[in-house]
Each structure stands twice: as C-alpha cells, then as structure tokens.
Amino acid sequence: DTAVSQTPKYLVTQMGNDKSIKCEQNLGHDTMYWYKQDSKKFLKIMFSYNNKELIINETVPNRFSPKSPDKAHLNLHINSLELGDSAVYFCASSQGPSQGQETQYFGPGTRLLVL
C-alpha cells in the first residue's frame, strides 16, 4: 500500500501544453504539499493545503494552480508549460502544519520534461 502516490511518474510534453499531476495520500493526514526540485536538487515548496484550505502559496507563476477536492488529494495543474518548468515535482503530506505534526512523507515524484 503506497502511502503517498503520484501520477504520472514521467511526463514529457511540448512547450505551451497544459498538464496535470495528481497526488493521493492514504495516511489520514490533514496537510499536503507540492514541491519542485530542480536540476541542482533544491527542493522548493510551492503550495500547501490543510484540510482543503490553501495555507502556503509561494511565489510561483500563476500558470500553476493547485486544487484539493478533499484532504486526501492534491492536484497540480500547469498551463502553458515552459522549458524552465522541467523538474521533478514531489507531493508530500503531514499530519498537520504545527510542531509535532510536520514530519513529511513524500510521494515518488513526477519527472516533467518540457521540450
């Protein structure tokens, strides 16, 4: 049983396309996150939701739009893909955002390549 799953694992697409990445967790956690890890391995937070509410919204282009239909799911939609969007996108979840709850469990990652 995978705790945090993401689909697809690999995504190769052309510039200008729109794509979505899906994430699901079966840990019963309240908080979910999207991270971008670039070629230099820097893991940067993009968004966080707690119980379906957006609590962290870092400075990312508004071409990126998260959506949380319920607390077990957090999807990421990307419009008008650009070369610089190529990276590994990780979904993660934690019990909550507060101290003692914030240990994060990561999904396997989605490797996005924009051509």
Partner 1 sequence: QKEVEQNSGPLSVPEGAIASLNCTYSDRGSQSFFWYRQYSGKSPELIMFIYSNGDKEDGRFTAQLNKASQYVSLLIRDSQPSDSATYLCAVNYQKVTFGTGTKLQVIP
Of residues 43 and 115, the one with the C-beta less far from partner 1: 43
| Residues in CB range of 45: below 8 A, 6 or more apart | 33, 34, 35, 56, 58
Q: Are 89 and 21 in contact (CB under 8 A)?
A: yes
Instruction: Give the residue with the Cβ less far from partner 1, 56 or 60.
Output: 56
Residue 90: CB minimum distance to partner 1, A: 6
Shortest distance (Å) from residue 29 CB to partner 1: 14
Q: Name the β-bridge partners of 81.
A: none
Q: Where along the sequence are the contacts to partner 1 (CB under 8 A)?
A: 35, 40-45, 48, 56, 90, 97, 99-100, 102-109
As a whole number of angstroms, the distance between CA 60 and CA 45 comes to 10
Cα angle 103-41-52, degrees, rounded to a multiple of 5: 40
- Smallest gap from Cβ 113 to partner 1, in A, equals 14
Q: Which is nearer to partner 1, 56 or 72 (CB)?
A: 56
Count of residues in the chain: 115
From the CB of 18, what's the least distance to partner 1, in Å?
A: 25
